Each structure stands twice: as structure tokens, then as C-alpha cells.
Amino acid sequence: MKRYEKFADDIAELIRSGVLAAGQRVPSVRYASQTHGISPSTVFQAYYLLERRGLIRARPRSGYFVNDSLINPTFAGQRFDVTPLAADDLASSRVAESTEVDVSELVFSVLESIKDPNTVPFGSAFPSAGLFPLQRLARSLASATRDMDPSMVVSDLSPGNPVLRRQIALRYMVAGQMLPMEELLITNGALEALNLCLQAVTEPGDLVAIEAPAFYACLQVLERLKLKAVEIPVHPHTGIDLDVLEQTLERHPIKACWSMTSFQNPTGASVPEPRKKALVELLRRHEVPLIEDDVYAELYYGQNAPKPAKAFDTEGLVLHCGSFAKSLAPGYRVGWVAAGRYAQKVERLKLMTSLCASMPAQAAIADYLQHGGYDRHLRKLRHALEDQLRAMLGAVARYFPPQTRVSQPSGGYFLWLELPEQVDSLKVFHIALAQGISIAPGPLFSPTRRFQNCIRLNYGTPWSETSERAMETLGKVIRSMTPRE
């Protein structure tokens, strides 16, 4: 990282944390230069970068000031007259009964809608491939396969490429977590890791505690494995409701808990670290394994990465699943699991199903992690996603009904919107699709088809005039279903 980028990130963190408030003057160029031991030109470069991000603005003959239009430092750059989700907007705080899962037809219809390249992909589960260093990855792939030892075809079946596993273990270590390589298994993306984990700790007919709303792939996995779901509400600011989870564990024979603890899909909610620790302790008392879906872990907007629940696991009950698909290599299908006490069982299930993940893809990512500048790419990716978040929030404020409530994500690339009660998101989906716009309707994220007036929007594609027009069209469709004020 260049010195001006590091200084800019330090100032951005002060703004995000509220130390520098909206409208407040940031340190003068002379003062910052003297205090931090950097040149005035370095300070100017940092301030120009912060201006481009919309965090500060210059006032003639007065200096630089935190943008006074901020209503939340995470959404810097312009005023967004949108209402954030309240605690009771996502799900009721009661213990649910178990539910058979049957969502695949709805999921397939949404997935089909994003195949057309002319469709605006607000309903997609993936960020734009243009945000990733695919050409640099291709060079890593060519280099790694050219030098690949033929014996690896057998020796690296499961648990996977040792160089890649070592690089992943090093990233855990840098984040403050010492993880033995024996826990790590490379998989065909995070979805296979999550499938294997559920198979390792459940039998058909078992009950699994899931989030409400939940990522639809979670529901499809439960459907395929013939497991029953018990929905636990997600708080828009603090993630999974621990009180309801505790009551559920006391009332039902829960065999596993599946949770996205950081930047949850679809809501963007994150569990604060003290509550992650409490979550792990609660499940430990009940001897219930936690399957932690952490595929968006690298897509945080602040200075520091959030710790996973796995960081508080002392007894191997947390199976931590990650992937490079959302942060580096879409299409390479390389994920992993740190499976704790279940590592051997998960590995054997892997051998019984798909043997191993693609060896060339594993080798390519291992080479990139060693030589390709992964952290530099991640910084650029996070800034791009944060810019796109600001653009989409601005469009929601301009075009959607004033009763719309919006999530406040601090990472990932999804917005969860609660629309006026009269709006049927499935109707919005079909009308919008006919006009070349894909969205993800709320019932997609619940086995009981709840969240009828909610939608998930993906802001993982660089903003354009097409994006702006699509949001305007969506707003018109939604307003047409809302009684006039």
C-alpha cells in the first residue's frame, strides 16, 4: 500500500468511527504533514483520494472538511433520505415450528432471469466479473499448471493443494487465529463445503436452525438433504437473534445451526464480536455445531476485518466455510472449510462425492496468493463496492416510495429493502423482468414464503446510466402498487 493510501485509510476510519464528524475540518495539510512525518504532496494525494470517495470536500481558502451531507459515514458522498430497517422489520421474535423446505422452483426462476446478458442483474447473487483480476489470474493459472508435478493428481486429492492450504492458514494467522492445516479442506466452492458440513452433522429428518431471511442456497441444501428448517429472526443491525435461538434450542432437538455472521445474505447484517462469542458459547452449551457461512468476509468497508465466530471456538464445534468466488476468482469454484473436530468426517465425505476440487484452479489461486497482490486487489474491490452502494442508496432515495426501509450494510454487496405493505415482491419480480430488470423477491429467502413485501438488490455491478434507469423503472413499478398519499 502506498503512503498516501495508508494515510487516506486512516482518515477514512476516523470518519467512519465518528471521531471526525460530518462538517468537521480535517487536519490541515501542514499539520498532517508535520504530525505524521509525511510530505505535503502525500497529504494532498490522500485528500484527493478521499474527495473521490466522497468522504471529504474542499472549501476555498478554508481547507478540507468531512462531507456535511453524511447521514452515516459508511454511505458517504451525498444525502440519502432513506429510512433504515428497524429491529422488528425482518422477522417476529417468536420461536418458530419446523418447516419442510420447498423453494427450488422459485430459485430456479430467479437464476434463469439473470442468464440474459441484457438483463440488469440486481437479482444476481454474484458481483460483476469485471471487478476481478481475471487476466492476472490467467497468468497464475498458466504458470502453475506449467510447473505442476504430475504426482499431485493423486497426492493432493483431499484435503487439497498444500500450498493453497498453507496460504489460507497464513491468512487466518495474520487475522489472529492459529489454525492447524489438518482442519482445512479445499472444496468445489463454499456451497460444497456447506453441503459436506451439513451431511457430517445431520441425518435426513433432522432440524436445523437457520436465519430468517436466509440465503436461498441454504434452503436448497436443506431441501436436497431432506432436513427441516427452524427459522431464527435476523436483527438488521446485530444479526441472528440469540434470545430466540436459545429458546429454540431448549424447545427443539436442533442438530446444527447455519449462520452468516458477517454481511449476511440477504440483509447485510453483521453479528458484533461480543455476540459472536456469545453465539459460540450458547451452541457449545447445547453441543450443537455451528456451520459458519463466511463467504463475504473479505468485503468489509472499514479499516479492520470482522472476526468470525470461529475465532471464539475452543472445542472444534464451528465449521468455518469460505470461498474465493466473491473476493477473487468467480468461476474457479475454489472454497474451503476449517472443520474443527469434524475435519476427518468432512474429508471422507468429500472423497465419497467429488474426490477433489480442480487442481489447476487450486494451483492458480495458490500462485496468485503468493505473488499476485491479493490484498491490493481487495482494497480496490472494497472501495468499488462502497462507491456502488452509495450510488444505489441514492437511487432508492430518488425513486422509491418514502415508506421504503433499507438495510445499512458495512460490507458485501446486497441491499435488503422493506417496501410498503401493499407491494407484492413476486409481482414486482415478474413486471420488472418483462422490462429487462432482475430482482430477488423476499419469499425466495424463507421456507415459509415470508417477506412478501421485501426485495434484495445486488449493487455488485459498476454503476451506469443503465443502472440508474433500471432503478427509476423499479421505483415506478413499486409506486404503482402503493396507494397515493
* Distance separating the N- and C-terminal Cα atoms of the chain: 52
37/198: higher pLDDT: 198
Q: Sorting pLDDT into bands at 50, 70 and 90, what band is 473? A: very high
pLDDT (mean) for 397-420: 94
Mean pLDDT of the region 150-170 = 83
Q: Are 437 and 478 in contact (CB under 8 A)?
A: no
- pLDDT, position 88: 57
The pLDDT of residue 101 is: 63
Report residue 95's pLDDT band, with 50, 70 and 90 as the boundaries: low
The fold of the 132-374 domain, in CATH, is: Aspartate Aminotransferase; domain 2 (3.40.640)
The backbone torsions φ and ψ at residue 260, rounded to the nearest 5 degrees and listed phi first, read -95, 105
Q: What is the pLDDT of residue 120?
A: 96
What's the rounded mean pLDDT across residues 357-365? Answer: 93
Average pLDDT over residues 347-372: 92
pLDDT, tens digit (0-9, with 9 covering 90-100), for 114-130? 778 889 999 999 999 99
CATH code for the domain defined by 3-75: 1.10.10.10
Per-residue pLDDT at 5: 84
Q: How many angstroms separate the CA atoms of 33 and 98, rounded?
A: 61
- Band the pLDDT of 103: cuts 50, 70, 90: low
Which of 48-62, 105-119, 432-446 has the largest mean confidence?
A: 432-446
Distance (Å, whole) CA 415 – CA 433: 19
Cα(361)–Cα(356) distance, integer angstroms: 11
Contacts of 236 (CB under 8 A, 6+ apart): 84, 85, 86, 87, 89, 90, 267, 269, 407, 408, 416
Alpha-carbon distance of 76 to 341, in angstroms, equals 43
> Structural domain boundaries of the chain?
3-75, 83-90+101-130+376-480, 132-374
Q: Which CATH number fits domain 83-90+101-130+376-480: 3.50.50.60, 3.10.450.50, 3.90.1150.10, 3.30.200.20?
A: 3.90.1150.10
Contact criterion met (CB below 8 Å) for 227 and 274: no
The closest alpha carbon to 408, from 145, 120, 87, belongs to 87
